[in-house]
A = this chain, B = another copy of it.
Amino acid sequence: MSRCDQCIARQLNSMKTLTKEELKEVAACKRTLFYKKGEVIFGENELLSGVYCVREGICKMTKLSANGKDHTVKLMGKGKLIGQRSVISEERTHLSAVALIDVELCYVPKDQILDNIKSNQEFSFNVLQNLAQDLREAEGDLINMAQKSVRQRLSEALTYVSKTFGETEDGYLNVNLSREDYASIVGTATESAIRILSQFKKEGLISTSGKKIKIEKLKELERVE
């Protein structure tokens, strides 16, 4: 049982507004969990008894479709709280959470979260603002899906991964997702994602080395139509 007050991940979400006392309580009841790439944290339609704070790594939130493929609704990196929505609305999960790469998570029982929402006004308002932000992003994604081509969406996925998870010294994306992962994020067939990445390569917008991707011309990639 480690302390929470110096956790970097905590600084990135609503828990930054908790008092020292409240943090001690969280630290006392939390558990640290490790999942390997591909492991399932929870599935669809489950009842959660707590939320998971991403300390290290990235999870994907996915929904299985009728045809057996799954769509990645969003990626959760360091500091993101997984399961918050379900816990707050007291509903079953409608997405599953899967480790996209190896992850370290802190599990916090839901009562700990709900109690703080009821007692700490600053915390509560911060959660509210975060949810509002999430809602804005979800609506933005919806509009992108409705109005933009696969090509545009894939170019945005690449720049998103670059900006959110960074690049190595030699310019490659820090996180190496498979073509299938990209297809699932963009909402297209894996072959289509592969084809368009090949186009981007031919056009000099990106280059690859194995499954590693380097963005060569960011400005032009962002202007793709």
Chain A residues packing against B (C-beta within 8 Å): 63, 65-67, 69, 71, 73, 85, 88-91, 94-95, 117-118, 121, 124-125, 127-129, 131-136, 138-143, 145-147, 187
Cβ 8 A contact of A118, one of B121, B127, B131, B138: B121
**Contact B124 A71, beta carbon cutoff 8 Å:** no
The chain B residue with its CB closest to the CB of A122 is B118
**Contact A118 B128, beta carbon cutoff 8 Å:** no
Closest 8 CB pairs between A and B? A146-B187, A89-B132, A138-B138, A65-B147, A145-B145, A131-B131, A88-B132, A142-B142
**Contact B129 A128, beta carbon cutoff 8 Å:** no
- Kindly state the separation between the CA atoms of A149 and B142 in the bound complex, as whole angstroms: 15
The chain B residue with its CB closest to the CB of A89 is B132
In the complex, chain B residues whose CB is within 8 Å of the CB of A90:
129
**Contact B94 A147, beta carbon cutoff 8 Å:** no
- Contacts known (A117-B125, A128-B88, A136-B91); A146 close to B145, Cβ less than 8 A: yes
